[in-house]
Amino acid sequence: MQPPRVVLGVSGGIAAYKAAELCRAFVREGFEVHPVLTRGAREFVSPLTFAVLSGREVPTEVWGDRHSPAVLHVELADATDLLVVAPATAHTLARFAHGLADDFLTTYFLSHRGPVLVAPAMESAMWAHPAVRANCDLLAARGARFVGPASGFLASGHEGVGRMAEPEEILAAARALLARTPASRDMERLRILVTAGPTREPVDPVRFLSNRSSGRMGYALAEAARDRGAAVTLLSGPTGLPAPPGVRFASFETSADLHGLLVREFPECDALAMAAAVADFIPEASAERLHRQDGDATLRLAAGRDVLASLRPLKREQVVIAFAAETEDLERRGAAKRDAKGADLIVINDVGRGDIGFESPDNEVVILAKGEPARVVSRRPKREVADAIWDAFLKARPEAVAARELSGAPESRR
Ligand code: CTP
């Protein structure tokens, strides 16, 4: 079997030095790597580094660096399995989004026909800029996959979202992308609503009650559904995670905010995955700040609304996926909760275990669909758990949803 062929595009950011490590990791894994550097990248790293690591020439310009016919980008595209761009700067993302072809990488991008994986790296303010957001959304809508950026220390000394994903993570995403077949765009035309992260309920103007939900499971569900072709809306509580490209996004703080968003969005979706960790108790908030000097204070907690159960009157053919965090008697309690909340499936998390759930990148769950035996999803990255949950959803969805999918009824609001 031919080794998979990867074109590794490197654009001009400080993370370009890490692209050398990525190049080496691809070679070590048996990939045939063709590095391509932009002019900006050459300011940070030498083409020679990549030439030595890959054993290939490293083009930058499209019209041949050596009086050769300028068709290498076409030849390369004929047999390349994957284009990986790491780091992808704001400028390179913009050139991809708008089809500019002013160097080898951007010209190659337009000739490339396989999957594209981009690992953005830039300052947080640039990543948050509407122009960058719009370019990323455009690329995601056309099928590009994103890995990162992560949060952490940036070249400027600031801390925030914008660090390039680590080479090992990019390699794993590349492997996953190559393993995927076109048949896995099996959620096309479905409108998926996902809630994620914790709620925050104010105690006074400066304090709140919240919980340990990181939002990771919900974000993984949103990304997995997007990659399988669905039109996804993600409603998120406060998390440290960047809004995924190619997903409609709205944020909430309190459970009342979340309820308001759901009342508007739920009637228009085909499935709701309710992964948000919603407050069960709402503190009686003080309008003024509580002061230590005033001595002990008592907080009165009122039982909050069960947001999911409150949507029952709006439910028609939507498939509802509830999430249960339990510490004991998982299946019995989970099934009872599913039925009490009018859900079709429930995903049960064992929160008694410290090694999975909440902040962990991995999860292990039990999926209980009505009338089906329990399905145990053994420990794996949350993204793979998300795919297992969507597989269970596809099996459980009612005929009406399946029929709309087949009929090609237009998607709303992509
Ligand atoms: N949920 C909700 N509103 C709440 C609490 C939970 O909509 N006030 C949703 C969650 O998003 C989840 C499901 O209900 O999908 C189950 O959440 P869980 O916290 O396990 O259940 P609770 O209803 O809080 O039950 P208990 O705490 O008594 O176990």
The two tokens of residue 238 are 């406060």
Tell me the pairing of strands 82-88 and 116-120.
parallel
Residue 55 in domain? yes
What would the mean pLDDT of 55-80 be, rounded to a whole number?
A: 77
Residue 223 in domain? yes
Half-sphere exposure of residue 168: CA atoms within 13 angstroms, side-chain side: 0
- 112 and 249: one domain? no
| 45 in Cβ contact with 10 (< 8 Å) | yes
- Quick check: CB of 221 below 6 Å from ligand 1? no
Asked if the model's pLDDT at residue 178 lies above 50, the reply is: yes
Residue 388 in domain? yes
The residue out of 154, 180, 206 marking a domain boundary is 180
Residue 296: CATH number of its domain: 3.40.50.10300
Using CA atoms, how far residue 315 sits from 233, 236, 263, 312, 392, in Å, is 18, 21, 11, 5, 19
Out of 135, 211, 349, 363, pick the active-site residue. 211
In whole angstroms, what is the distance from residue 57 CA to residue 321 CA? 51
Residue 52: CATH number of its domain: 3.40.50.1950
What would the mean pLDDT of 188-210 be, rounded to a whole number?
A: 96
Atom of ligand 1 lying closest to residue 309 CA: 7
- 171 and 217: one domain? no
Active site residue 211: yes
- 140 and 41: one domain? yes
In whole angstroms, what is the distance from residue 333 CA to residue 356 CA? 19
- 98 and 218: one domain? no
The two tokens of residue 382 are 């949350």
| 34 in Cβ contact with 7 (< 8 Å) | yes
Residue 108 in domain? yes
Express each pLDDT in 335-355 by its tens digit: 999 999 999 999 998 877 666
- 175 and 191: one domain? no
Residue 367 in domain? yes
Express each pLDDT in 300-348 by its tens digit: 999 999 999 999 999 999 999 999 988 888 899 999 999 999 999 999 9
Task: Return the pLDDT at 411.
Answer: 44
- Quick check: CB of 196 below 6 Å from ligand 1? no
Residue 277 in domain? yes
| 387 in Cβ contact with 363 (< 8 Å) | no
Using CA atoms, how far residue 198 sits from 277, 328, 342, 351, in Å, is 5, 22, 22, 15
Express each pLDDT in 355-404 by its tens digit: 665 677 788 899 999 888 899 888 888 888 999 999 999 988 865 556 55
Task: State the virtual CA torsion across 243, 247, 250, 251 in degrees, nearest 10.
Answer: -30
Q: pLDDT category, 274, cuts 50, 70, 90?
A: very high
- Quick check: CB of 341 below 6 Å from ligand 1? yes
The residue out of 180, 205, 234 marking a domain boundary is 180
Ligand 1, atom 21, lies closest to the CA of 324
- 44 and 137: one domain? yes
Q: Residue 268 C-alpha to ligand 1 middle, in angstroms?
A: 22
Using CA atoms, how far residue 227 sits from 77, 122, 245, 293, in Å, is 23, 24, 11, 54
| 380 in Cβ contact with 362 (< 8 Å) | yes
Strands (E), 104-256: 116-120, 145-146, 150-153, 159-163, 191-196, 201-204, 207-209, 231-236, 248-251
pTM score > 0.85 for this model?
Answer: no
- 198 and 95: one domain? no
Atom of ligand 1 lying closest to residue 195 CA: 11
Q: pLDDT category, 69, cuts 50, 70, 90?
A: low
| 164 in Cβ contact with 152 (< 8 Å) | no
Q: How many domains does the chain have?
A: 2
- 164 and 191: one domain? no
Of 249, 267, 225, 178, the closest CA to residue 393 belongs to 225
Residue 42 in domain? yes
- 369 and 337: one domain? yes
- 136 and 238: one domain? no
- 259 and 354: one domain? yes
Express each pLDDT in 123-157 by its tens digit: 999 999 999 999 998 898 888 889 989 888 888 88
In whole angstroms, what is the distance from residue 79 CA to residue 112 CA? 9
**Mean pLDDT over all residues of the chain?**
90
Q: Residue 307 C-alpha to ligand 1 middle, in angstroms?
A: 8
Residue 366 in domain? yes
The two tokens of residue 48 are 């020679």
Helix (H/G/I), strand (E/B), else coil: 242: coil
Asked if the model's pLDDT at residue 412 lies above 60, the reply is: no
- 380 and 394: one domain? yes
The residue out of 162, 180, 198 marking a domain boundary is 180
Domain span including residue 336 = 184-406
